[in-house]
Amino acid sequence: MTALPNFSERILEEQKLLKDLENINEKFTIQEWISTDTNEVHLKFELKIGSKSFLGLLVYPELFPDVPAYIHPQQHGEKWSSHQYGGSGVLCLEYGPDNWHHDIKGVRLVQSAQLLLLNEALSDLTPDVEPVQSRHSETVGQKIRKHSNRFLCTPILKQTLNAVEAERVEIKAVISLIKETAVFVVTQIQNKPLSDIPASFANELNEISGWAIRTDSYHLIKGSVTDISSLEAFLNASCPNEEEFGDSSKVLLIYGLLGNMDFFYVSKASSLFLKFEAIDLFNDNNQRLPIEFNDINNTKIAIIGLGSLGSKIAISLARSGCSNFCLVDDDIFAPHNIVRNELNWLDVGFSKTYAVERVLTRISTEMHVKAYDMRIGGQENPLLNVEMVNDISSCNVIIDATANSQTFLALAAIAKRKHIPMVWGEIFGGGGGALMARSLPSLDPTPLEIRNHIYGVFEELDPIPEGKANNYTVESVEQTYIASDADVSSLAASMTQFILDALCTPETPSSYPYSAYLIGFRKYWIFQCPFDTRPIDCSNALRSDSITDLEAQDNSNKDELTISQVDTTNG
């Protein structure tokens, strides 16, 4: 036995146990121990099963025994057993990542491999010997990942085909690609869109035309269709002719009376023939959202400001079940916005409202978005401005994610006049903390009253640390602080909960006893530690019927106290 100097005590123990096995098991022979440049230890060995010799490699990873060892053939791609992982050829033995523990030794893996190979050899020779059963069931992901070409079967596709009387109908499908995986989705049947597929699929991806063909002989398709010629022979008279195929690639969906489907992407001109495995991912009957969210899809949400904060809130609300949005922002998405915004490089150069709209329409098939590429209170077309304001006035909640004082005043006036709940939030420059507040007509004072009460509270607190505020950055004498995506995401998550609570409040009591909260993200100002939350009691906020008085108060030097330390950009 060769012991290399850098072998650990555990590996030395492994060597001894395997040498002991070799001494008592004439079918197992140690060939060579190897220490690799990647800090792995390999054992080359030979196993004899009957007259057949198996040359294997027992691999001890660098993090062994915290990470399991494994066995595969020395020759890459060599097939030993039906219990082998594709590509790597690693044997699926009694122990693996799902049931591994520190006390399992490599000698146990060798014995397991020997038992597996012996049992399979006997089952091939003797019918009475049952083949080795897999020790675990595959997850949906493990089953599907074997197929890089996939076809998504949707419920509406099945229902529509079942109702079709014609043996052959025209369809359209789109294909999306990630790395080596391709997924086809049928978007139309007889020029009618399928309602369980987002319309953006057809709008954003190139649709490929073809046919869905019903056959009584579907049970014969497996094994008999391997290329275009055999596909034509199988379909016989139902197969489209040369003129119908033309020079372009087509999709063919072959289905039987019981709903089974096979999908092909073919071209007669180039002899292209690809089969796509049908997958059904619509079997989930779990309740994915809280029951209290059941009715929020009937609400309409206005979000003004689709920068870092607004974009995150919009997408989180959509995932929570909201499906009707009014989006307002006049800004264009730029590369420097990527560091905190939910959008990405594909959206650079587009209006933030339209880019967020595109994301929302990918989330739900029921999504309705009205996007305004405009500025509230800006120099805009008066007619379009009236349309925008009327649209905001028809919403169930108004969200101000701009941290802009003039925008807040305009939205506060709409919220008060139309008795609409309003929620707003601001990240402190440098990301030290944030403010979020709400005004529910049934519970709280008006937005302006609450905001001015908050300013009054600020005056009674210790002054915010001095520093030069610039976008998401604050520069002090000692250090420069920059708000991160995590800071903005934390506020967005809290505000989303705040908003969902406001939407559900008419039916259920609010979970938030206060109208405003200061949230700390690190030790800063009044915050003693991260997530230090300070509620602001606004129940005694000055109530006034005069918006003019409050506007004058809002434009006082109290504004400078806060806004100089709060990000006022729409990044």
Higher pLDDT, 550 or 63: 63
Distance CA 570, CA 11 (A): 58
Whether 308 and 425 have beta carbons less than 8 Å apart is answered as no
Mean pLDDT of 329-338: 97
- For residue 1, CA distances in Å to 23, 233, 374, 509 come to 12, 64, 78, 74
Mean pLDDT of 535-563: 56
- Residue 136 has a pLDDT of 61
Does residue 548 have a pLDDT over 80? no
Residue of 484, 486, 304 lying closest to 411 (CA atoms): 304
Does residue 243 have a pLDDT over 50? yes
Higher pLDDT, 122 or 502: 502
- The confidence band for 322, taking pLDDT boundaries of 50, 70 and 90, is very high
Residue of 158, 253, 244, 264 lying closest to 212 (CA atoms): 253
- The confidence band for 313, taking pLDDT boundaries of 50, 70 and 90, is very high
Distance CA 526, CA 464 (A): 8
Mean pLDDT of 112-130: 80
For the chain, give the percent of residues with pLDDT over 90. 73
Distance CA 139, CA 150 (A): 17
- The confidence band for 433, taking pLDDT boundaries of 50, 70 and 90, is very high
Residue 332 CA, chain-centre distance (Å), reads 25
Mean pLDDT of 478-487: 84
The tokens for 378 are 């800006």
- The confidence band for 329, taking pLDDT boundaries of 50, 70 and 90, is very high
- The confidence band for 414, taking pLDDT boundaries of 50, 70 and 90, is very high
- The confidence band for 377, taking pLDDT boundaries of 50, 70 and 90, is confident
Residue of 353, 395, 405, 390 lying closest to 374 (CA atoms): 353
Q: What's the whole-model pTM score?
A: 0.83
- Residue 269 has a pLDDT of 85
The predicted-structure confidence for 146-184, as pLDDT tens digits, reads as follows: 899 999 999 999 999 999 999 999 999 999 999 999 999
Is 522 exposed, middle or buried, given 0-12, 13-18 or 19+ CB atoms closer than 10 A? Answer: middle
Is 544 exposed, middle or buried, given 0-12, 13-18 or 19+ CB atoms closer than 10 A? Answer: middle
The structure tokens 């939030």 sit at 425
Strand order in the sheet with 516-520: 368-372, 324-328, 301-304, 397-400, 422-427, 433-439, 516-520, 533-536
Helix, strand, coil distribution of the chain in percent, nearest 5: 35, 25, 45
Cβ neighbours of residue 283 closer than 8 Å, sequence gap 6 or more: none
User: Exposed e or buried b for every residue in 285-317, given b needs 16+ CB within 10 A?
Assistant: eeeeeeeeeeebeebbbbbbbbbbbbbbbbbbb
- Residue 314 has a pLDDT of 98
- Residue 290 has a pLDDT of 86
- The confidence band for 561, taking pLDDT boundaries of 50, 70 and 90, is very low
